[in-house]
Amino acid sequence: MRHRILSVLGYAMAAATLLVALLVPFKLMGGIASLVSHAGLRIDPVYSGGTPLRTIARNGYTLTIYTLVRPHLLQRGEPFQQVVFAPVSALPTHVEESIDMDGDGTPDLRVVFDVPANPATPLRASVQALNGNYQSLAAVSNDSFTRLLARTGNRIVLRVPLAKSN
């Protein structure tokens, strides 16, 4: 009888230990999140696309132009600038935009792409550089971090690499 009681107590303690091990991370998650937010950590601009520079209102949607991003010494890729079209629900099915990337009043890029109804359909765009600051791209999709056209939620993100001389 004593052997049976010890056996049941042993299994009960093992189950309690497993329960505590499973629940402790949930209890500590708030504290860990608070610690990380106060640590000043941020996502690298190569992944986030930089910081928003200015927003241009169009007919029902906006273009948000981001600052130039130059990869660090040990990162691969080339310098780029990001433009976000939002919301996708307000975009026409065929987008043709002349975009002033540097804010000097003269268009720097001409972007042409179609917005498919199915969000899972891959996007393709043609980007024509109107000056020597950017690279022209034919059929850009989501090939790399620096040459990118991708739908993320209710936004379309376009990244255009700078010209090699910049």
Same domain, 83 and 37: no
The H or E element containing residue 128 is: strand 125-129
> Is the whole-model pTM more than 0.85?
no
pLDDT at 166 exceeding the cut of 70: no
pLDDT at 28 exceeding the cut of 80: no
Domain assignment of residue 166, yes or no: no
Report strand pairing: 125-129 vs 137-140: antiparallel
In degrees rounded to 5, what are phi and psi of residue 99? -120, 130
pLDDT digits (tens, 9 = 90+) for 123-164: 999 999 999 999 999 888 887 878 899 999 999 999 999 998
Domain that holds residue 13: 1-41
Same domain, 49 and 101: yes
Report strand pairing: 109-114 vs 94-99: antiparallel
Tally of structural domains, the chain: 2
Q: What is the mean pLDDT of residues 99-110?
A: 93
Higher-confidence residue of 166 and 102: namely 102
Same domain, 104 and 117: yes
Same domain, 64 and 140: yes
83-107 core/surface letters (b: 16 or more CB in 10 A; e: else)? bbbbeeeebeeebebebbbeeeeee
pLDDT score, position 41: 76
